[in-house]
Amino acid sequence: MRARERDFERSVLPHAPGLLRFGLRLAGDSSQAEDLVQETLLLAWRSFGRLDTGANVRAWLYRILLNVFLQQKRRLRTALAFTVSADVARATQPSDESAEVRQAFSRLGDDQRTVLLLAVVEGFTCREISGILGVPIGTVMSRLSRAREAMRELLSTSRVLQ
């Protein structure tokens, strides 16, 4: 095995389970999440030689996955502009607390949902998220604050309506 392959396996592959978890939360479908991770790892392999020594590999991988997801989402949105999913209708009638959280989470904007996932679920710092998303740290902090507030409001509203 060549040195590049060993370095890739050592520094990139341990992050695959986290990438899959993040992809699943973004895509909402395990098959699509697996495709996202596979595409991410392929792109990472192709550009691994250009990665700076000492770079935050984990943040770099999450950025690649997010870019792949957004690119696929744009393609899908264009191709299926008028398709309505039956899952959306079912999601509007939560049967338990986790369904309420999923529904509230799905009502957040893409920016807020992404920041919330990266911070709360994946444990990235605001500085790391700033690097992943390519936005100022203040933007990350405000998106995170707004996302948390929106979740509080959405969850308290859903409980009042029951």
pLDDT in tens, 128-149: 999 999 999 999 999 999 999 9
Q: Could you tell me the fold of the domain covering 85-157?
A: Arc Repressor Mutant, subunit A (1.10.10)
Which has more pLDDT, 86 or 12? 12
25, 117 Cβ separation under 8 angstroms = yes
Angle at 70 between CA 34 and CA 78, to 5 degrees: 105
Q: What is the pLDDT of residue 72?
A: 83
Confidence at residue 156, expressed as pLDDT on a 0 to 100 scale: 84
The per-residue pLDDT for range 45-83, each reduced to its tens digit, is: 999 989 888 889 999 999 999 999 988 877 765 544 433
Domain positions in the chain: 1-83, 85-157
pLDDT at 161: 55
Task: Considering the domain delimited by 1-83, tell me its CATH architecture.
Answer: Orthogonal Bundle (1.10)
